[in-house]
């Protein structure tokens, strides 16, 4: 089961009360209402382009396959595209959009001509076209769960499944749609498998994570040249180490940082923040669930402002006995503070599973559920999700 979707099963856990929350200016900007006129269940982060934000929902919309939407910083939302409009269109986007010269590029986990996902582009006016359909050949990648990056005019991405060894792939694709596989995961018993996060480019070398694989099956951090030479930098071992990384890496002063969905403390398999050098030296920066009302199960990567890292957890917090997730900050030395606990007010979002984006000093993000609830979002009894902002 995919790490992002598996996080839903972890929401049944709970933590004690009585922790302190650092005050922060939080706003719920928009509550999704779902099918047929609006999207639902946003699992992707936002991207700023032209002074507004663009994002996607994994469900809802006119055809139930998700949407591309735009939203202003004041909360005015509009649907640009409804996925699933034709048999060859993609459905269920899970990775964030990429802005390249006012054209947005992205992936869908499913749909397309072969039902195995797509790469697409869409203008800011809403004109969408499919560039590539995964599953075109037996060894092709399938199920892209992450967004794309641009490296000198070529787009790079990952698929969680498929490839010649079945462990997923790293692929390249030109803006014209010409695709090729750069690397197939699972080539050995200790190689990584099931990459679910976007890649990071540092001076022409790609860095990323796999959710599974490695020596103990708990995932890896890897590097990959643009010619296809891969090296495993770290193999996660599980508690007290992390396990199951699903978030993208971010570089701070030459060191890479991200989160693991699981692992960490022996009493609470609640995830970690970790660092790893480009030579492969790994360190657990913070273990979630170690304090009352702390967040649990971070299902997204981090954003850095200076040497402070900001992120979300998909569970934990427990403001009123619920388990709704948090927004947190953590220094590179491991000092963590909870900025906001979801579920503290009626109509609030819950279970954020996407990375934050920094726009002029304000952080914006999505919560995958919560919001309107059954009154307006009958397909999702826990709510169709929200867009929020927070000033750290």
Digit-coded pLDDT (tens) for 206-243: 999 999 999 999 999 999 999 999 999 999 999 999 99
Work out the pLDDT band at 378, boundaries 50, 70, 90.
Answer: low
Q: Once rounded to an integer, what is the mean pLDDT over residues 252-270? A: 93
Query: Residue 392 has what pLDDT?
Result: 86
Q: 14-391 sits in which CATH class?
A: mainly beta
- Who's near 289: CB < 8 A, 6+ residues apart? 15, 264, 265, 267, 268, 270, 271, 295, 296, 316
Query: Residue 23 has what pLDDT?
Result: 47
- Who's near 86: CB < 8 A, 6+ residues apart? none
- pLDDT tens-place string over residues 4-17: 444 433 333 333 33
| pLDDT for 374 beyond 60 | no
- pLDDT tens-place string over residues 28-67: 999 999 989 999 999 999 999 878 999 999 999 999 999 9
> Which of these ranges, 12-21, 64-73, 106-115, 136-145, has the smallest mean pLDDT?
12-21
| Alpha-carbon distances of 181 from 155, 164, 172, 196, 228, rounded to whole Å | 12, 10, 6, 16, 9
CA torsion angle 134 139 144 145 (round to 10): 160
Q: Which among 94, 91, 72, 95 is positioned nearest to 83, based on CA atoms?
A: 91
> Could you tell me if 76 and 69 are in contact, meaning their C-beta atoms sit under 8 angstroms apart?
no
> Could you tell me if 369 and 383 are in contact, meaning their C-beta atoms sit under 8 angstroms apart?
yes
Give me the percent of the chain exceeding a pLDDT of 70. 91
- pLDDT tens-place string over residues 144-184: 999 999 999 999 999 999 999 999 999 999 999 999 999 99
Preceding amide of 248 cis, omega within 30: no
E strand intervals along 298-380: 303-305, 308-313, 315-316, 326-331, 336-341, 349-350, 357-359, 362-367, 369-370
Boundaries of every domain in the chain: 14-391
Work out the pLDDT band at 20, boundaries 50, 70, 90.
Answer: very low
Q: What is the mean pLDDT of the chain?
A: 90
> Could you tell me if 365 and 327 are in contact, meaning their C-beta atoms sit under 8 angstroms apart?
yes
> Could you tell me if 304 and 294 are in contact, meaning their C-beta atoms sit under 8 angstroms apart?
no
């Amino acid at each position: 089961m995919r790490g992002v979707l598996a996080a839903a099963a972890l929401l049944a856990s709970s933590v004690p009360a009585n922790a302190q929350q650092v005050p922060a200016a939080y706003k719920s900007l928009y509550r999704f209402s779902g099918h047929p006129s609006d999207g639902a269940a946003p699992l992707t982060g936002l991207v700023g382009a032209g002074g507004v934000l663009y994002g996607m929902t994994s469900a809802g919309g006119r055809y139930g396959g998700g949407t591309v939407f735009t939203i202003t910083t004041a909360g005015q939302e509009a649907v640009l595209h409804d996925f699933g409009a034709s048999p060859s269109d993609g459905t269920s986007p899970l990775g964030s959009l990429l802005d390249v010269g006012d054209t947005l590029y992205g992936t869908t986990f499913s749909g397309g001509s072969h039902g195995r996902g797509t790469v697409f582009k869409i203008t800011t006016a809403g004109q969408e076209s499919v560039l590539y359909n995964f599953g075109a050949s037996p060894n092709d990648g399938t199920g892209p769960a992450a967004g794309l990056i641009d490296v000198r005019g070529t787009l790079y991405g990952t698929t969680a499944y498929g490839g010649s060894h079945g462990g997923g792939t790293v692929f390249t694709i030109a803006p014209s749609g010409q695709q090729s596989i750069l690397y197939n995961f699972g080539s050995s018993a200790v190689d990584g498998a099931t990459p679910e996060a976007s890649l990071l480019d540092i001076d022409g070398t790609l860095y990323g994570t796999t959710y599974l694989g490695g020596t103990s099956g708990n995932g890896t951090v890897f590097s990959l040249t643009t010619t296809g030479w891969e090296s495993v930098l770290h193999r996660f071992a599980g508690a007290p180490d992390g396990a199951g990384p699903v978030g993208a890496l971010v570089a701070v002063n030459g060191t890479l940082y991200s989160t693991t969905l699981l692992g960490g403390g022996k009493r609470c398999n609640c995830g970690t923040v970790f660092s790893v050098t480009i030579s492969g030296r790994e360190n657990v920066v913070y273990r979630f669930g170690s304090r009352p009302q702390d967040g649990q199960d971070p299902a997204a990567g981090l954003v850095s402002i200076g040497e402070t890292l900001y992120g979300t957890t998909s569970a934990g917090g427990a403001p009123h006995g619920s388990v709704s997730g948090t927004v947190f900050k953590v220094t590179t030395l491991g000092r963590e503070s909870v900025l906001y606990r979801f579920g503290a007010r009626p109509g609030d979002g819950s279970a954020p599973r996407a990375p934050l984006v920094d726009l002029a000093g304000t952080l914006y993000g999505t919560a995958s559920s919560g919001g309107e609830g059954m009154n307006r979002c009958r397909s999702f009894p826990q709510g169709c999700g929200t867009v929020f902002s927070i000033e750290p």
